A and B are shown apart, each in its own frame.
Chain A
Amino acid sequence: MTTTSAPTTTPAPETASERAFDRFRVPGGFALGAVLLLAVAPLALSDFRLALLAKYLCWAMVAVGVSLAWGRGGLLVLGQGVFFGLGGYAMAMHLKLADAADTGVPGALPDFMQLYGTGEALPWWWAPFANPVFALAATVLLPMAVAALLGFFVFRRRVRSAYFAILSQALAAALAIWLVGQQATTGGTNGLTDFQGFFGYDLDDPANQRTVYFIIAVSLLLLMAAARQLFVSRYGELLVAVRNSEERVRFLGYNPANVKLVAYVVAAGMAGLAGALFVPAVGIISPALIGVVPSIGFVIGAAVGGRGSLVGAVLGAIAVAWAQSTLSDAFPAAWTYLQGLLFVLAVGFLPGGLASLGAVVRRNRSRTRTGTRSGEAA
């Protein structure tokens, strides 16, 4: 169908100093981000604030995937909550089983199952998650497998892009409803919570919580580096080409379905990892965190910050999450209006997000200076 408008690209550097700046921009920015996340934040923030930041960083990891699939690939992924949830539940199930095993009672069930469950044996699909290697692998591979399955069938038949968005959203709704319905085996609305240990470490210990923060921060940096490499690779070029003109890419001999599938699956894996790390950091995973509304929330952050820009998407996700938790407590009603308005303005009038603000201002200024009226900005 139609393409999403291309995010504004930075203009080519003109002077030697600008070229030099451009060469160091990416590694320099990455190093700055690493220093901020790994040194400044842990030193400057209290345990409580650091735990909050850890939560935001998990959402930012999802935004990295959104930036890839939506920003570069034009796939409006409205169901990232599904993959976040699959990763989160896989991790949570393992932690629950490990906690139950720690009680020393042979064959002990996770606490909530004793409460709601039929009191019988562990469901068969829980059993493999007792194995830490299986559980860790599942946090990433399970979301990727689900994404591959849905993506394969949807992209293969060239279902229109709007249909894909709706189907991915429906998937989020279905998973959330299914989880709520299976209270005996998934904890229902309450989700899985109240974890004691994390691979042998006590989660109540603030020092261990800090370690979890470091794991999350490093994971985010690694994901960003990996995504950046994907963006500048041949595959990244192809993905943008598919977004801008799928038919032309098909005529050139590529199969756009595969290109889109890879982006969707990788984004799902990133969301799965984010969900898995969210569980020890925040201590809960529940249907309310993965349904339709939070799934759209994952896209919002990226949209406000700038879907086409990796850093923009990540900062946008962190900023929106921060604003949400700070303002929604103080002014719940005002925050909802602000959130809606922010979204309308960002997506409607600044499609490149805040990351493109500088470029837009520069363009307008140069236009008024030279007095040209042609080339109306899209």
Chain B
Amino acid sequence: MTVILNQSFTGISIGAVLLLIALGLTLTFGQMGVINMAHGEFIMAGAYTTYVLQESISSAGVSLLVALPVAFLVAGAMGALLEWLLIRRLYTRPLDTLLVTWGVSLMLQQLARDIFGAPNVQTRAPDILTGNIAVADGISLANSRLFILGLALLSVLALTLVLRFTPLGRRIRAVVQNRDLAEVSGIATGTVDRMTFFIGSGLAGVAGVAITLVGPIGPTTGTNYIVDAFLVVVVGGIGQLKGSVITAFVLGVLQSVLEYSTTVSVAKVIVLVAIVAFLQWRPQGLYTLRTRSLA
């Protein structure tokens, strides 16, 4: 029993990381049908931002707190730049964006290798996050994992509030639902797209800060997460946050419980088969915007 609970908690914290990454993808993928492979490199940018800040700010706790907004801005700016330079030219060819952004991701990885070196670097976690909290006999929760969970939930909350109550959020939702109608209603869809990309990529940066608490970071850190994060979006459905939230945690728990009962590699295969089976039932994902369009 304790093992199952411990595994479930590990799963939930894996899910929290996935959720942080997938939130940004849901936005960019959902709104523009853009499959941004460079999203993983925005995670990496966030992680390295934490590393750089820690070099200049000695207190690990302060640097982590400073890193959160800075990483959001750094990754967000990179995302907005990418949107402006490349992606806006490719809206009619969503599949091609996947390949173009993969080229970008190659270059960004090499850039990281040139600046920070190929070996992984390790950041120091603040003392307060290194311990464990014992909740019951044999069950203990790592503070860093709890922090990530809190961060993920906070991000979901913030994003929900922005989408629901701000003028920008209203415009984003309008463009997701019907781009043409939004445009004829006087919404500058280009600007909205850029802001969406900024927020989505910024969230990847926040995810990057979070994963510095989980392990060392390197130039290919982002790629390790990106495939799983895309699967979350596929299963969760695009255009709505709740699908991603549920899916991230379900996949995280499923993965970690399966890893315990089988092996890491077999668990991956089973999860993939489960996803394909799930898509038989709901080909558009868990939640999807109902439209009358055929495709």
Contacts and interface: CB of A to CB of B under 8 A. Distances in A.
Interface of A: 1-2, 4-5, 74, 76, 78, 150, 153-154, 156-163, 165-167, 169-171, 173-175, 177-182, 246-247, 292, 296, 299-300, 303, 333, 336-337, 339-344, 347-348, 351, 378
Contacts of A341: 103, 107
Given A5-B93, A163-B234, A348-B90, 5 more contacts: A156-B280, A157-B280, A161-B95, A173-B227, A340-B107
B252 interface: no
B65 interface: no
B268 A4 contact: no
B266 A181 contact: yes
Interface string B89-117: 11011111011101111110110011000
B155 interface: no
Given A340-B107, A340-B110, A4 B295 contact: no
**Residue of B86, B100, B263 contacting most chain A CB atoms (<10 Å):** B100
Contacts of B263: 181
Interface stretch (B127-135, B143-151, B271-279): B271-279
B100 A343 contact: yes
Contact of A166 (B106, B231, B266, B269): B231
A58 B125 CA distance: 48
Q: What is the size category of the interface that chain B forms with chain A? A: 35 or more
Interface of A is mostly: helix
Contacts of B223: 292
A154 B295 contact: no
A153 B280 contact: yes
A61 to B, nearest CB: 21
A337 B100 contact: no
A250 B250 CA distance: 36
B106 to A, nearest CB: 4
B109 A1 contact: no
Nearest to A345: B103
B280 A180 contact: no
Contacts of B58: none
A178 B231 CA distance: 18
Nearest to A156: B280
29 contacts: A5-B92, A74-B95, A153-B279, A156-B280, A157-B280, A158-B283, A159-B283, A162-B33, A162-B98, A165-B35, A169-B230, A170-B275, A174-B268, A174-B269, A174-B272, A177-B265, A178-B265, A182-B265, A247-B295, A300-B99, A333-B113, A337-B107, A339-B103, A340-B105, A343-B106, A347-B96, A347-B99, A347-B103, A348-B100
